[in-house]
Amino acid sequence: MTLLAPAPLIANGLPRLGQFSDSLSVINHRDFRLETPFGKPASRLGQWLGFKQFQYFGGMSDSLVFGCALAHLRHMGMAFVYVVDMKTGELFSRSYRSPLGLGLSLAENPVEGLSRFRMPGIDIQMGYEKHPRQKTLRVTLGDMLEIDAAMPESGFEPMSICTRTAYTGWVYANKTAGLDLHGQLRFNGSTHDLARLGAMGHHDYSCGHMRRETFWNWACLSGMSTEGHRLGLNLSCGVNETSFTENCLWLDGKLIKVNLTRFDFDQKNLMAPWRVSSDDGVVDLLFTPLGMHRETMDLKLLASNFKQLFGRFDGVLHVKGEDIVVKGLSGFVEDQYVKW
């Protein structure tokens, strides 16, 4: 596959579709000429309402897992944070909503800028730094939880794609996994050094004119294989699959594309084991859930049934003639329905 240069996303009113050689520092979505399915220019309101953004920063280790998301759905802004003790199963979780995204601002790209959500007693920041390249997460929830995490990306190959979506839309997705985390997390009266825990991170920056109603399944892990390889994994089914997919893994920081993926699980019992595999034979994993963060909303105009499960992966990745053994690595899976 020929990789596109990381120039501005929109050219002559249209998105450049395909896989990019690096993260995009210019996502000029306001230059996109949105049209109706009948070729008529969309209204300014329709263009504004149609553009959605969400960003996610996750951390994984043997003992602690945490996740934090910020989303602007136009009618509403949303944020959530959770931390789970993987040894005791104790879960701390908080979710917040704001009409029209009041108190929420999101960075224009995944290379430099700051995303922030502020309410009384709540301050959540995701930072994007260019020199040196890194992403950061700072969370202050009163005296309940503090996170100060940094994820350096120097020498790393991110997944960076733009796909056609629905009839007239597009999605840009930028993802990383399998990167070391540094900093501290204060939770439940204890302060944890992320580097000493061996914590590794994942980040998702997605935006675009997405399907009005959609679903997806997603899987991610970060950790060390039994052979000593630094692993990251990002797989999905249901979105970002029009001509190009976001499915990939990272082996010692190098990006390796993965073909279409399949998620076999029981929707009536999400806590039963999940089988995650790819049709090219690269991925063959079993995910054992240990807990779940759930968000439900049905406001007719907006609706979401979001389940993110944390647990452990076991199995094999068949990469370039080598079997990479995954044994008990922490990670996430999702089952999501959304209307926005």
pLDDT of 311: 96
In a domain, 200, yes or no: yes
Separation CA 142–CA 160 (nearest Å): 35
- How far apart CA 79 and CA 53 sit, in angstroms, is 12
263: left (phi over 0), alpha (psi -120 to 50) or beta: beta
Distant-in-sequence, close-in-space partners of 321: CB < 8 Å, separation ≥ 6:
none
Q: Quick one: pLDDT at residue 65?
A: 96
Q: How far apart are CA 14 and CA 107, in angstroms?
A: 21
Q: What is the pLDDT of residue 24?
A: 98
DSSP annotation of 41: B
For residue 217, is it within any domain?
Answer: yes
Residue 244 covered by a domain: yes
* Strands of 113-119's sheet in order across: 104-105, 113-119, 122-129, 134-141, 145-152, 182-187, 190-193
Q: Could you tell me the residue range of the domain that residue 136 belongs to?
A: 11-25+50-339
pLDDT at residue 323, as a whole number: 95
Contact indicator for 33, 192 with CB cutoff of 8 Å? no
Q: Does the residue 137 lie in any domain?
A: yes
pLDDT less than 50: residues of the chain: none
User: How far apart are the C-alpha atoms of 199 and 222, rounded to whole Å?
Assistant: 9
pLDDT of residue 189: 86
Of the candidates 207, 245, 201, the one whose C-alpha atom is nearest the C-alpha of residue 222 is: 201
The pLDDT assigned to 322 comes to 92
In a domain, 142, yes or no: yes
Q: Which of 136, 133, 126 has the alpha carbon at shortest distance from 158?
A: 133
The two three-digit tokens of residue 308, written as one number:
């993110």
Q: Any idea which residue has 């003790």 for tokens?
A: 85
Tell me, yes or no, whether 88 lies in a domain. yes
What is the pLDDT at residue 89?
Answer: 84
The terminus-to-terminus CA distance of the chain in angstroms comes to: 33
Sheet holding 76-85, edge to edge: 18-19, 159-165, 169-180, 200-209, 51-60, 64-72, 76-85, 91-99
pLDDT at position 301? 84
Residue 39 lies in a domain: no
Residue 145 included in any domain: yes
Tokens coding 321? 């003639």
Phi and psi at 24, nearest 5°, equal: -90, 130
Other Cβ atoms closer than 10 A to 105: 15
Q: Looking at the 3D structure of the chain, how many domains does it have?
A: 1
Q: Which pLDDT score is estimated for 240? A: 86
